[in-house]
Amino acid sequence: MHVDKTTLQDLSIFHHDEEQSVFHHLNFTQTNGGREQLRNILSKPLDSIKSITDVQQTIAHLITVSDRWPIIITNGTVMVLEKFYDTPVESYPHHPTAAHSIFYKIFNAPDFSLTKYSIEHFIGFVKGLEQIVLLIDQSKSLQLKLWKERVEMLLRKPFIETMLQLEKGKKLSPVEVLSFGAFIRHHFKHESFELIDIYSKLDAYLSLAVACKKFNYHFPVIQETNTPFFEAENLFHVQLSTPVAYTVSLNKERNFLFLTGANMGGKSTFIKAMGIGVYLAHLGMGVPATKMHLSLFDGILSNIQVVDNIVKGESFFYNEVKRIKSTVEKISDGKKWLILIDELFKGTNQQDAIKCSITVIEGLRKMHNAIFVLSTHLYEIGEALKQYSNIQFRYFETSIVDDQLLFSYQLKEGISNDRLGYLILKKEGVVEMLDKL
């Protein structure tokens, strides 16, 4: 599925302030490698029902075993193994005897200590993998089956099997330390890093499983269709601690959602919630909704946080126009798109913005290969658009009680006519400050 950098930023999948990102919200990884694998997973939405379904099965199975996941493998364990291969040590004796081993331990004490410490962590690592193999043994996920089979094969080496049979807490003899160390260092390096890579990927998918369980996400039903559709019940924004849920339905007959409401009323939050929901669905992830049924989309494009470009001398409005032009060019390919536009044409005067907005909306609404969600502060244009049967009208209601703004964040049918700018100015004390000048 195509998603450009602008859309990733608009939806905050990744963010320069990481705590504000969806990535941070879903990150329950235990290792540095797992964290990087999670970043890779979140940056590559999938483009087939088959691949999405397999990821869903992967995460679903990991949810069932997450409480039994071995804690013996930590980030420290992996770091010790990686450092062991990067640190030079004095050559180990071939076929070490007890005498050779004692001699090495005495005259190469630091290297012996490093080897012993690393081997103890390695034993914990492979024992943890052995437990994981048992946990994923009955999974329907093709990916988990492939990792299971590969791990089993790598653990079948005689030296590894000997390590796995060691009793917990058993003190290693100097001969065992050097024998295991020589094998791991000289005959199992590539395999060790392959096992670490597999574990990192498991750590990343386990993170998504933990997130699904913790936040009560549900797996969506994705269908291959000729035209796009989207249905969700109790959809919410993943980053809100006490979100308000939405129910929304868009399809071929009604593929354009015209959204109005006061500033701070919830328009941007709704648009991002829908975009993030579709994005997570195409990762194979559970989604923030009790139910979601949607088509397989070919791409998502957003127009939410357009900025000017001082270096190029491009105004805010000019960049809005460029983004709309780019969007039209891309979605003219006949593929299935989700288009998210927040506050169209903020960068020009109201009369100009009204004319431009009507022109753009009347053009976009002719395209049945895309679903459009568009918010605007230009409520006036709503009446001119009511003649088109494929446009839905929704708004976020705001009420005023004792000069206080109350936001319900409830999505209602119709067009808002709120005019609250002056009230907000007054509420924040700006009017009073100006009066005193």
Other beta carbons within 10 Å of 176: 18
First to last CA, the chain: 56
Q: Which has more confidence, 111 or 315?
A: 111
Q: What average pLDDT score do residues 305-314 get?
A: 48
Residue 296: which of 48, 6, 24 has the closest Cα? 48
Label residue 403 by pLDDT band (50, 70, 90). Answer: low
pLDDT of residue 208: 98
If we measure between CA atoms, which residue out of 52, 158, 179, 170 comes closest to residue 120? 170
Q: Give the dihedral sign, CA 27/29/32/34.
A: negative
**Residue (of 287, 263, 275) closest to 215 by Cα position:** 287
Binning pLDDT at 50, 70 and 90, where does residue 46 land?
Answer: very high
31-215 CATH fold: MutS, DNA mismatch repair protein; Chain A, domain 3 (1.10.1420)
CATH superfamily of this structure's domain 221-435? P-loop containing nucleotide triphosphate hydrolases (3.40.50.300)
State yes or no: pLDDT of 30 exceeds 90. Answer: yes
CA-based nearest residue to 418, from 434, 396, 401, 433: 396
Alpha carbon 255 to chain centroid distance?
26
Q: Distance (Å, rounded) from C-alpha 243 to C-alpha 381?
A: 30
The overall average pLDDT reported for the chain is 92
User: Tell me: the pLDDT tens digits for 146-188?
Assistant: 999 999 999 999 999 999 999 988 899 999 999 999 999 999 9
Q: Convert the pLDDT of each residue in 374-385 to its tens digit.
A: 999 888 899 999
**Which of 197-201, 276-280, 387-391, 404-408 comes out lowest in average pLDDT?**
404-408
The answer for residues whose C-beta is within 8 angstroms of residue 159's C-beta and 6 or more apart is 179, 180, 183, 184, 187, 188
pLDDT one-digit tens code per residue, 3-20: 999 999 999 999 989 999
Supply the pLDDT for residue 308: 44
18 phi and psi, to 5 degrees? -55, -35
Tell me: the pLDDT tens digits for 345-371?
877 788 888 999 999 999 999 999 999
Q: Following DSSP, what letter does each residue of 317-372 receive, concatenated? A: HHHHHHHHHHHHHHHTTS--EEEEE-STTTTS-HHHHHHHHHHHHHHHTT-TTEEE
d(CA 341, CA 343): 7
Q: Is the dihedral of CA 23, 29, 32, 33 positive or negative?
A: negative
Residue 312 has pLDDT above 60, yes or no: no
pLDDT band at 190 (very low <50, low <70, confident <90, very high): very high
- Check whether 128 has a pLDDT greater than 70: yes
- Residue boundaries of the structural domains of the chain: 31-215, 221-435
pLDDT at 67: 96
Residues 412 and 422: their CA atoms lie apart, in Å, by 24
pTM of the model: 0.93
Share of the chain above pLDDT 70, in %: 95
- Give the total residue count for the chain: 437
Instruction: Kindly report the backbone phi and psi dihedral angles of residue 412, in degrees, each rounded to the nearest multiple of 5, phi listed first.
Output: -120, 160
For the cut 80, the answer to whether the pLDDT of residue 2 exceeds it is: yes
How far, in Å, are 151, 156, 164 from residue 131 at the CA level? 11, 14, 11
Least confident span in 164-168, 213-217, 394-398 = 394-398
- pLDDT digits over 216-274, tens only? 999 999 999 999 999 999 999 999 988 989 999 999 999 999 999 877 778 999 999 99
